[in-house]
Chain A
Amino acid sequence: MRTTLNGMLAGVAFGAISASSALAEDLVIFWAEWDPANYLQELVNEYEEETGISVTVETTPWSDFQTKAFTEFNARGSAYDMIVGDSQWLGAASEGSHYVEMTDFFAKHGVADIMAPATVKYYAEYPGNSKRYWAIPAEGDAVGWSYRKDWFEDPAEMAAFKTKYGYDLAPPATWAQMTDIAEFFHRPDEDRYGIAIYTDNSYDAMVMGVENALFSYGAELGDFETYEVEGFVNSDKAVAALENYKKLYGFTPPGWAKTFFVENNQAITEGLVAMSMNYFAFFPALLNEATNPHAANTGFFANPAGPDGDQYAALGGQGISVIKYSENQEESMKFLEWFIKDETQKRWAELGGYTASAAVLESEEFRTATPYNEAFYQTMFKVKDFWAVPEFAELLTSANQRLYPFIIGDEGTAKETLGALAADWTATFKKYGRGQ
């Protein structure tokens, strides 16, 4: 309540200042360096056209996006008015009251009805099921896969594959099939490799990769209500999933030890691998002949199912929030009102942004706009996410410290690794008094 009041007071105060200065201030939105940010810049150019208020999208590499954002929050800096922040920041940013609460905005404009339910749940609400909102779902995203159609459809390869594995070579439906295919195409002597996966242990890159296996194998990171992790993140299913992920690492190109979206796209454009994991938002570069010589032969599929038929993908994507320390909160709110309009959302999707608007997502037009939009649309209904508690960064650090030596360094077993991770996480939750 106090935060809302403060927010309102601040809003009024700044409103008065901006009204007296008459000149509309530049709005600055902070986001990470990737295609959607550039598409957003194009979108907001149209806002400038309509209102005369110029909006700048500032970017920083993914690797230090989180640090930069929180440094700025914790410095109480006013360099940015809005931020398109990761879903797992909601806890830290709302408890630290860095974000302006949007619950009233949601109620007034019916945002929860405009945006797809999963996006509202993961990108806007904190704590879970509290009906308190901190962001407008802006960019939906999840992990998907690209693959080399020409390799998959080569008759000689298809015959050889069938002989070896006893079923037809096609985009994999399960993680087991995906592992077979990766093994099949892994031919270092021909400079061809099986698969590209995330292995960068800074921030959440590798953790996201592992999550894809974990969730599809039917495992969970923990109980998000009770903060119990023992028996979840180190369950037998999770152990099998991690073992599979490590097996896939064996079929990656040489030097695949600090890789994230850029490297995984490059693996396709340079013709290195048969399949490559990546967020849907990074796929535009794979469609263009100028950036991907194999554009015509690149296909896409959704994250495959696990052995028990579970099929989930790690959530990416972000919501857009107004920063508490901004001097232009009033203007920012006006901008967001424009942003949630149906026309804007439609335009956003046309430009290449992954709208969270349910109406636009479900439209035929959107689903056929690119070769991967259909896979994206389907995936967005089966996404799961990392912890969104304020200490998520510590949880990520433990995950990186435990997982990386096992996957890349070949130290210990999957069971030991996840057991140690469960112990670390339990200790962290205990330290912050959660689940007691």
Chain B
Amino acid sequence: MAGVRTSREKWGNRIAIATVFVALIIMLTPIYWITATAFKPRNLATTIPPTVVFTPEVSPFVKLFTKRSQLRDQPTQKEYDAAPWWEQMVFDGGEKVVRNRKTGEVRPSGYADRFKNSLIIAITSTLLAVSMGTLTAYGFSRFKVRGEDDWMFFILSTRMLPPVVVAIPMFLMYRVVGLNDTHLGLIILYTAFNLSFAVWIMKGFIDEIPKEYEEAALVDGYTRMQAFFKVVLPEALTGMAATAVFCFITAWNEYAFALIMTTRKAQTSPPFIPSQIGSGLPDWTVIAAGTFLFLIPVAVFTFLLRNHLLRGMSFGAIRK
């Protein structure tokens, strides 16, 4: 802004700040509500007026990781006293933990397995999409390819397809080769899905890196490959980080393919979490706990790379 600040401008700024804060609060309220619900006892999740002040407890997480069974009566005092603290919490909610009778082992709900599947599939497919995308973007950026625009449009068009459209033939093909309900099956799908995005975004970044850098390296006796790895890649890191964030978010949260293509062994968390709503009555606390835990990796990843993300997006955008 130019030196003189009129009072009108000052007021404008104040209103802008106020609006932004209000918007921020509105945007974060649902997330706060999920987080709060993840630490509530079941009976406080659906009260009117809403329960805002409460003693946080971890019972939703205990329930999230265990298989439980609805009790028709309250447990006897003896049973209750004999149970460990976390099992008492489950009793308080009118349920009991299902155990192996012989060993007394607690039956897990399967959430941990789904979480692990999500990690394996999202991380692998992100790495693949970003690395292949970067190479291809470099290829399109630095070499002349006949019909470049058409190829780029072709690549983009693969992302336009609704997942269900692709899922029908993929389901039939996977059935033939036995890729249904496998990690590899989902990794392939997510990589294909994210690859087009990665190529498009990375091309924007690589176009921005001055060709002179490579030329200088080539003059210094680097091969083209060495120049790519030692000069171009370090420059493109910011863009790769931003792309990785978006690819990871997409793969981590994908629902339609996971719903159709996996049943158990390779099932990821998104189709699984809703199944934990409970049977006789809705237990929103468990859903909230599952969602809360599921948000952590992607939030951490995004926060770690946030500077790249913000800088990356503006960098890639300037050119366009």
**Which residues of chain A have a CB within 8 Å of any CB of chain B?**
28, 33-35, 37-39, 41-42, 45-46, 48-49, 54, 56, 58-61, 64, 67-68, 71-72, 74-77, 79-80, 261-263, 265-266, 269-270, 282-292, 352, 370
Min CB gap B255→A, angstroms: 11
Report the Cα distance A77→B71, complex, angstroms. Answer: 34
**What residues on A are CB-neighbors of B181 within 8 Å?**
72, 75, 77, 79
A80 engages B264 (CB within 8 Å) = yes
Report the Cα distance A42→B71, complex, angstroms. Answer: 12
Q: Which residue of B lies closest to A268 (CB)?
A: B281
A45 engages B101 (CB within 8 Å) = yes
Report the Cα distance A283→B73, complex, angstroms. Answer: 12
**What residues on A are CB-neighbors of B98 within 8 Å?**
38, 41-42, 45
A270 engages B71 (CB within 8 Å) = no
B63, CB-defined interface residue at 8 Å: no
B 60-103 to A, binary, CB cutoff 8 A, 1 in contact else 0: 00000001111111100000000000000001111100111110
Min CB gap B270→A, angstroms: 12
Q: Which residue of A lies closest to B42 (CB)?
A: A291
B110 engages A282 (CB within 8 Å) = no
Q: Choose from A48, A71, A262 the contact partner of B277 (Cβ within 8 Å).
A: A262
**What residues on B are CB-neighbors of A59 within 8 Å?**
275
Report the Cα distance A261→B277, complex, angstroms. Answer: 12
B72 engages A79 (CB within 8 Å) = no
**What residues on A are CB-neighbors of B282 within 8 Å?**
262-263, 266
Known contacts A45-B99, A291-B93, A79 near B279 by CB under 8 Å: no
Known contacts A75-B175, A76-B175, A262 near B281 by CB under 8 Å: yes
Q: List 30 A-B contacts (CB under 8 A).
A: A35-B69, A35-B279, A38-B69, A49-B102, A58-B110, A59-B275, A61-B274, A61-B275, A64-B271, A67-B259, A75-B180, A75-B181, A77-B263, A79-B181, A79-B264, A79-B265, A80-B263, A262-B277, A262-B279, A265-B280, A265-B281, A266-B282, A285-B279, A288-B71, A288-B72, A288-B94, A290-B74, A290-B91, A291-B93, A292-B281
B222, CB-defined interface residue at 8 Å: no
Report the Cα distance A370→B263, complex, angstroms. Answer: 35
Report the Cα distance A37→B271, complex, angstroms. Answer: 19
Min CB gap A188→B, angstroms: 15
Other A-B contacts than A41-B67, A68-B263, A77-B181, 11 sampled, CB-CB below 8 A, are A41-B107, A46-B101, A48-B101, A48-B102, A75-B263, A79-B265, A262-B280, A265-B280, A283-B280, A290-B93, A291-B70
Report the Cα distance A376→B104, complex, angstroms. Answer: 33
Q: Which residue of B lies closest to A74 (CB)?
A: B175
Min CB gap B278→A, angstroms: 7
**What residues on B are CB-neighbors of A49 within 8 Å?**
101-102
Q: Which residue of B lies closest to A45 (CB)?
A: B101
Q: Which of B170-193 contact A (CB under 8 A)?
A: 171, 174-175, 180-181
Q: Which residue of B lies closest to A290 (CB)?
A: B94
**What residues on B are CB-neighbors of A262 within 8 Å?**
277-282
Report the Cα distance A64→B46, complex, angstroms. Answer: 25
A291 engages B281 (CB within 8 Å) = yes
Q: Which residue of B lies closest to A37 (CB)?
A: B279
Min CB gap B203→A, angstroms: 37
Report the Cα distance A74→B174, complex, angstroms. Answer: 11
B180 engages A77 (CB within 8 Å) = yes
B298, CB-defined interface residue at 8 Å: no
A291 engages B99 (CB within 8 Å) = no
**What residues on B are CB-neighbors of A48 within 8 Å?**
100-102
Known contacts A39-B69, A80-B264, A270-B46, A34 near B174 by CB under 8 Å: no
B232, CB-defined interface residue at 8 Å: no
Report the Cα distance A134→B255, complex, angstroms. Answer: 33
**What residues on A are CB-neighbors of B46 within 8 Å?**
266, 270
**What residues on A are CB-neighbors of B101 within 8 Å?**
45-46, 48-49
B281 engages A287 (CB within 8 Å) = no
B260, CB-defined interface residue at 8 Å: yes
Report the Cα distance A41→B99, complex, angstroms. Answer: 9
Which 7 pairs across A and B sit closest by C-beta, in order of nearness?
Answer: A285-B280, A290-B94, A38-B69, A291-B94, A34-B279, A75-B180, A79-B264
Report the Cα distance A59→B259, complex, angstroms. Answer: 14
Report the Cα distance A288→B278, complex, angstroms. Answer: 15
**What residues on A are CB-neighbors of B263 within 8 Å?**
68, 71-72, 75, 77, 79-80
**What residues on A are CB-neighbors of B264 within 8 Å?**
28, 58, 79-80
Q: Which residue of B lies closest to A32 (CB)?
A: B279
A75 engages B171 (CB within 8 Å) = yes
Min CB gap A23→B, angstroms: 17
Q: Which residue of A lies closest to B109 (CB)?
A: A59
Min CB gap A349→B, angstroms: 12
Report the Cα distance A144→B263, complex, angstroms. Answer: 32
Report the Cα distance A42→B275, complex, angstroms. Answer: 19
Report the Cα distance A290→B102, complex, angstroms. Answer: 28
Q: Which of B246-273 contact A (CB under 8 A)?
A: 259-260, 263-265, 271
Known contacts A34-B279, A42-B98, A64 near B259 by CB under 8 Å: yes
**What residues on B are CB-neighbors of A290 within 8 Å?**
71, 74, 91-94
